[in-house]
Structures are given as structure tokens and as C-alpha cells.
Amino acid sequence: MKKKILLMLSLLAVMCLLSGCMAISGSRLESMFGTGGASTVQAGNAAAGTAANTGDTVTISKAEYERLARFKDLAELYDACEIAFFREPDTDQMLEYAARGLMAGLGDPYSYYYSPEEYAQMWEDDTGEYVGIGVMILSYVKEGYCVITRVFQGGPAEAAGVQRGDILYRVGEDLYVTPENLTEAVKIMRGEEGTDVDVTFLRNEEEITFTITRKAVKVNEVDSTLLEDGIGMIALYEFSGEAEVEFENALNALLKQGIKGLIIDLRDNSGGWVDQARYIGDLFMDKGEVCYLVYRDGEEEHRYYRTTDGKADVQLVILVNENTASSSEILTGALRDCADATVVGTNSFGKGIIQEVMPIGNNGAGFQLTIAEYMTPKGNKVHEVGIKPDVEVERAEGEEKNYEFADVEHDIQLKTALEVMREKLK
């Protein structure tokens, strides 16, 4: 049997050597690109970007041939597995992992491939409606754990007794949760409405297990309140769903109550859709831009994230922390540059790059790709630098677990933001 496999691999090697001269074996390209048939691809004199078909032969430009030839090793691996692997290989899975590996080769944690299931899940998450337990989770990658940052009102987790600040420890009997497998844990916590899932948390270093019944959850992206006469507060948790509409409705309600100052809480907001940041920024800015893009060749793009005249007449203070990232930093930078906002808290995360999300193929898969770096309107860099607050206020370790929304008594950063606002309104 071993001799038979060696013979097959030797024949494959001979085929590869022969095809490496002037033509790429049709079977290998078909394995990768699913073209079917038994045609041969040859390097010819066709104009760049064109192909001439003659019977079983497709003639392409030399440049296109050389581009395709770069996949030769990958195609050889594919054929070797198809011919000689000791079990029938799952070729669809092989190609999916090849796509994942291709994106991983960029060395960018924000560029990656979505399987059809993951791509559909991503868009479902964006609607803010799903069947699950009703919590928001934040990964602390360096520390290696995941923390509950919100327990949605009226959701099953709240009914069970889950609290903000609980560490997500285990899902089911044997999935111990880490930032690396959080996606898998979330998938388990979601499911059919009315079914149960056991979830274990760490609270004050003690394990607490709840049996939680899954139900439909509607995520609110905004909370708002009047802190005191003339000063309102809006917490924006994520740029997804209809966050910009929720934010504008909350702002209008506070303006009707006569506020002259607004505290925008963007702590632990990891970002989302940039156009929602543009929309919200436009509520407080005249004609301009919330950010501009810089591509890898140095070209600047100023067309996309423009604002228009007309703005709310309020003073602004923005709360940020080390988990304020991406679109949150875009909004913060724009309002500090163009709306005289004062930033309070700790240095933000520093994700100053923008991704584009696109479908690929015809089976429902997709990918996201970092396409540019962004700068604040005044040209300040954010990526790997973050936004330094005007007023720095550190929280004591574990303090973020000890307060709820608009808890001025226990939230030292909010208390400071309120003091800053009072000074601005004098």
C-alpha cells in the first residue's frame, strides 16, 4: 500500500514538473476554482485581463498565468490529499480553512474570513435581535477572560440573577470560556427559544451556575437620563442595529427637557459601523468630516464621512476608557476637534483602521478586510496610539463592576465628567 501511495505521489510530482513549464494543469486549477471539465490553461499573448477560449484550451496573459502559478503549491497539496489521504477528505472544509489561512497571513486581527454560517450570524447580530440569554460580553485578551458588561433589562440572564461584572467561566459542562473560544460559547448560549443552558460565572472568585432559559432578546444600543437640571447623559454601547436612530431620539428627548450640556458615555464601546458615527457626529457638528482615510499608497480620501450644517446647541463631555475603540474613537476625535468636546477617562484603545465587509462566492460566505487608516479631522493619528483624555481619571481595579448606568455616587469617572460639565456651563 505504501508503494502504491508513493507511486501516486511520484506521478503527481511529474505532472507538476511538466505543468510548471508553460501550462497549469487543468485538474489542479479546477480543484481550486471549481471550473469543471478537463481543460488546460496556457500562458499566451492574450491582453492583460482577457482570456481566449479555443476548445479545451484557455489562453491567458503571461501576467495572469504567473499570478495563478503562485497557487501551484496549494493546488499540489489539495491534489495530494484528494489522491492519497487515508480517508475521504472533506474538500469543502479544506477550502474553507485555506481561505481562513489566506486572510490570517495578513497578520491583521481585523481581517478575516466568514463561513456562510458566520456571515449570516454577523448580520443577525447587527439587527440587535436574537434568541439567547441577554448579556453583552467583553473579552480581555491579555488577561485571558471574558466579563459581562451589560445584562439586558427584561432578559433571561437578568431574571436568573446574572450581574454586570460577572466573569463568564463555563458554558455547559465542559466549555471553559476564553477570549479565543468566546464565539463558540456564544453559539452554545444561543439556540431554540424555551430551551435551557447551564452557564457558570465567577463572582468574587466563587463559581455560580445558573440554568437559564433562552428567549428572544431585543438589544437596546442606548440608555439615557437627565442627571440634573441642564445636564443629560447618553450611554452608547455599540454602533450597530439602529444605534444612530436610538441616539438621536434620546438626544431630542433630553433637549426637550432643556439640557445645555450632554455627557456621552463611550466606555467599553468597541465600535461598529462608521457611518453611524458620522450620523451621530453630524448632530453636533457643522459642515466638515468626522474623519478621513489614508490608503497604503498615502492617498487621502475626504469624500465619505462628511457632515452638514446644523447642530445641537449643547456643551459636550465624552467618557472613554481602554476599551473605547474604532467608531467610538472616530466620534470622540471628531467631537473634540470640531465640537469643543472635553474627553474624560483613560486612554482609548487605539484602533485607527477601517474594515470593509463583503460577500464572497455564491454560498453565503464573506470576509472583512482592513482597507485604510483613519485620521481625526485635524489630522491626529489614532491607530496604536489611542485618544488621550483631556482629564485623566483612572478607575480602581474592579471598580467597573461596582456601578450601574448613571451611578454618579460610585462611578468616579462619571462623577468627574459631571464636575467638568458644570465648569463648562458656568
C-alpha 259/C-alpha 8 separation (Å) is 78
Please, are residues 46 and 52 in contact by the beta-carbon 8 Å criterion? yes
Read off the C-alpha cell for 5: 501511495
Residue type, 110: Y
- 381 forms beta bridges with 375
C-alpha 283/C-alpha 362 separation (Å) is 39
Rounded to the nearest 10 degrees, how much is the dihedral formed by the CA atoms of 32, 33, 39, 43? Answer: -90
E-only strand ranges, 215-269 = 215-218, 222-228, 231-236, 261-265
C-alpha 73/C-alpha 305 separation (Å) is 42
Angstrom CA distances, 208 to 19, 189, 294, stand at 62, 16, 48
Residue type, 393: V
Pairing of strands 365-375, 353-360: antiparallel
Q: Which residues are catalytic?
A: 326, 337, 351
